[in-house]
């Protein structure tokens, strides 16, 4: 069987699909797909192989797009994606995930979670999250009040984590009926009256460590964190990273000690790569130390930003990592992040990148 | 029957759907419900919670700006027009 690598790229003006052989040196590109809808997240359903894309149109509202033929033809739906006629309208979809029991979850703006049992054709509100007693206190981040990162527990279908900006991490252990904030130990420096509130943290992204379902890494507005107890508590691992700030984080597919982040300058200093010197930082020791990787990346005048869903890794060895910028550049490493090459610098504003390996 | 003209950007979301439809309905909301039966999913693209027209969707009945409650005559001409917005 011949394997190919795909990069699924969500942009402000539609989705794009890039493909390469496993050398990951030469790429072909198709797009824009999804009729120009702004796409905030793209995933592959591991069971059906369907490509799913979530986003929204300023004209036509939120939608989850689905392709069962590798991106050639698409359907779309937001049927049932409503809080009710007396509640604010759902504006757009920000995040997608598949669950071990075959459902699809969608995180939306304003923040909430919807579940589909029929492959994305119809959606039902997961009311337990938005009925949480802290809901009246939830406030938006710069990107809005959005539910983004969704991580179903890999072996316990009753457990799921969700990130809400700027509210924090929540976890359900009863299939979505009730949720608990999971923000102990996470700083909220922008809250001078309480740096460690129960909710109000600005989680940007989090990921499970490979093979350790109780270990999570978190990229926050205020630092980087690791939890070794299933998100009950977090310890800061910002360490020698150049700044507190950034959006993206990916974890190694096999080694729980390794993850990558892209630090950005502080919000009040532009939110671009520090010193306009592009770099990805990697830890090999669970966050105790971080090492800069910039071989092939621009070392000056690189006023680049990378958003929360815009970095991804494949499952090959060595690991391939890709990130997309707010100015439409798509960068790739085929060697665990040791060196980088630009695939294209002419895409629209990139919101999401996903990587997967498929066989012919 | 009223005549409804749909915009190209909406038709692109529903391959094979016609631009021009002849539809019965007493209001714009009823017309959109009828269109949804012919083109499943179309209502969700035009109408949000409320229910009301999505903020960047304009509907004109015989040249006059309309909302979901606007009455429609048997010979009305209805234009659905996305706003000149975006970037």
Nearest-5° Cα angle at B16, A105 to A33: 45
d(CA B13, CA A36): 10
Residue A360 has pLDDT above 80, yes or no: no
pLDDT average, residue stretch A42-65? 97
Q: Are the Cβ atoms of B46 and A35 closer than 8 angstroms?
A: no
Please tell me the distance in Å from B33's CA to the nearest CA on chain A: 14
Q: Which of residues 67-86 of B touch A (CB under 8 A)?
A: 82-83, 85-86
Q: Three-state secondary structure along A136-172?
A: HHCCCECCECEEEEEEECCCCCCCEEEEEECCEEEEE
Radius of gyration of chain B (CA): 12
Does B43 touch chain A if contact means CB atoms closer than 8 Å?
A: no
Q: So what's the pLDDT on residue A141?
A: 87
Structure confidence at residue B86 as a pLDDT band (50, 70, 90):
low
Chain A residues close to B56, C-beta within 8 Å: 58-59
A95 pLDDT more than 70? yes
DSSP letter (8 states) at residue A257: T
SS3 A276: helix
For chain A, the C-alpha Rg in angstroms (whole number) is 19
Asked if B54 and A61 come within 8 Å (Cβ–Cβ), the reply is yes
CB contact under 8 A, A79 and B45: no
Question: Which is more confident, A329 or A267?
Answer: A329
Whether residue A61 and residue B82 make contact (CB cut-off 8 A), yes or no, is no
Q: What's the pLDDT score for residue B85?
A: 73
Alpha-carbon dihedral sign for residues A338, A341, A343, A344: positive
Query: Residues A9-44: pLDDT tens digits?
Result: 999 999 999 999 999 999 999 999 999 899 999 999
State whether A89 and B82 contact (CB < 8 Å).
no
Over range A169-197, report the average pLDDT.
96
Out of B44, B46, B57, whose CB is closest to A79?
B44
Q: What is the pLDDT of residue A143?
A: 86
| Chain A residue at shortest CA distance from B84 | A59
Q: How far apart are CA A6 and CA A286, in angstroms?
A: 28
Chain A residues within an 8 Å CB radius of B85:
58-59
**DSSP character at residue A295:** B
Q: What share of chain A has pLDDT > 70, as a percent? A: 100
| Structure tokens, A320 | 């391939």
**What is the predicted pLDDT for the residue at B24?**
95
From B41, which residue of chain A is nearest by alpha-carbon distance?
A: A77
Q: Give B74 to chain A, closest Cα distance, Å.
A: 27
* Chain A residues with CB-CB distance to B46 below 8 A: 60
Residue A354 pLDDT greater than 90, yes or no: yes
- Best residue of A61, A79, A118 to probe chain B, by most B CBs closer than 10 Å: A61
pLDDT value for A36 = 87
User: CB of B45 within 8 Å of any CB in chain A?
Assistant: yes
Q: Is the pTM of this model over 0.90?
A: yes
Q: What is the pLDDT of residues A127-142, one digit of tens each?
A: 999 999 999 999 998 8
List the domains of chain B with CATH numbers.
2-82 (3.10.20.30)
pLDDT attached to residue A142: 86
A118 at the B interface (CB within 8 A)?
A: no
Mean pLDDT, rounded, of chain A:
97
């Amino acid at each position: 069987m011949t394997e190919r690598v795909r990069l699924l790229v969500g942009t402000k003006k539609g989705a794009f699909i890039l493909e390469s052989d496993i050398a990951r040196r030469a790429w072909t590109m198709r797009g824009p797909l999804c009729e120009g809808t702004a796409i905030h997240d793209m995933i592959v359903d591991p069971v059906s192989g369907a490509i799913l894309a979530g986003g929204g149109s300023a004209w036509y509202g939120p939608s989850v797009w689905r392709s069962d033929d590798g991106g050639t033809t698409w359907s779309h739906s937001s049927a049932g994606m409503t809080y009710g006629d007396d509640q604010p309208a759902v504006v757009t979809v920000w995040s997608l995930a598949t669950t071990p029991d075959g459902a699809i979850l969608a995180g939306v703006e304003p923040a909430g979670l919807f579940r589909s049992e029929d492959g994305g054709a119809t959606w039902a509100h997961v009311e337990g999250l938005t009925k949480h007693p802290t809901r009246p206190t939830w406030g938006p981040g710069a990107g809005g009040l959005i539910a983004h990162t969704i991580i179903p527990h890999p072996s316990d279908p009753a457990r799921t984590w969700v990130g809400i900006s700027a509210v924090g991490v929540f976890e359900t252990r009863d299939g979505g009926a009730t949720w608990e904030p999971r923000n102990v130990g996470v700083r909220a420096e922008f809250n001078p009256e309480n740096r460690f509130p129960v909710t109000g943290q600005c989680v940007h992204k989090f990921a499970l460590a490979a093979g350790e379902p109780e270990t999570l890494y978190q990229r926050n507005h205020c630092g980087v964190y690791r939890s070794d107890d299933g998100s009950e508590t977090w310890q800061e691992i910002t360490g020698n990273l150049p700044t507190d700030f950034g959006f993206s984080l990916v974890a190694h597919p096999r080694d729980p000690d390794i993850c990558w982040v892209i630090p950005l300058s502080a919000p009040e200093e532009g939110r671009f790569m520090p010193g306009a010197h592009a770099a990805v930082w990697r830890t090999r020791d669970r966050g105790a130390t971080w090492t800069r990787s910039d071989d092939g990346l621009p070392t000056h005048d690189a006023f680049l930003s990378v958003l929360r869903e815009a970095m991804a890794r494949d499952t090959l060895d060595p690991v391939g990592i890709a990130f997309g910028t707010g100015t439409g550049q798509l960068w790739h490493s085929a060697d665990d992040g040791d060196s980088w090459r630009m695939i294209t610098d002419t895409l629209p504003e990139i919101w999401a990148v996903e990587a997967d390996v498929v066989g012919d | 029957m009223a005549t409804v003209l749909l915009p190209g950007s909406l038709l692109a979301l529903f391959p094979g759907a016609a631009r021009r439809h002849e539809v019965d309905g007493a209001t714009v909301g009823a017309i959109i419900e009828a269109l949804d039966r012919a083109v499943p999913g179309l209502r969700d693209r035009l109408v949000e919670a409320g229910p009301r027209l999505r903020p960047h969707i304009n509907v004109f009945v015989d040249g006059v700006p309309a909302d979901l409650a606007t009455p429609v005559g048997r010979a009305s001409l209805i234009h659905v027009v996305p706003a000149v917005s975006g970037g």
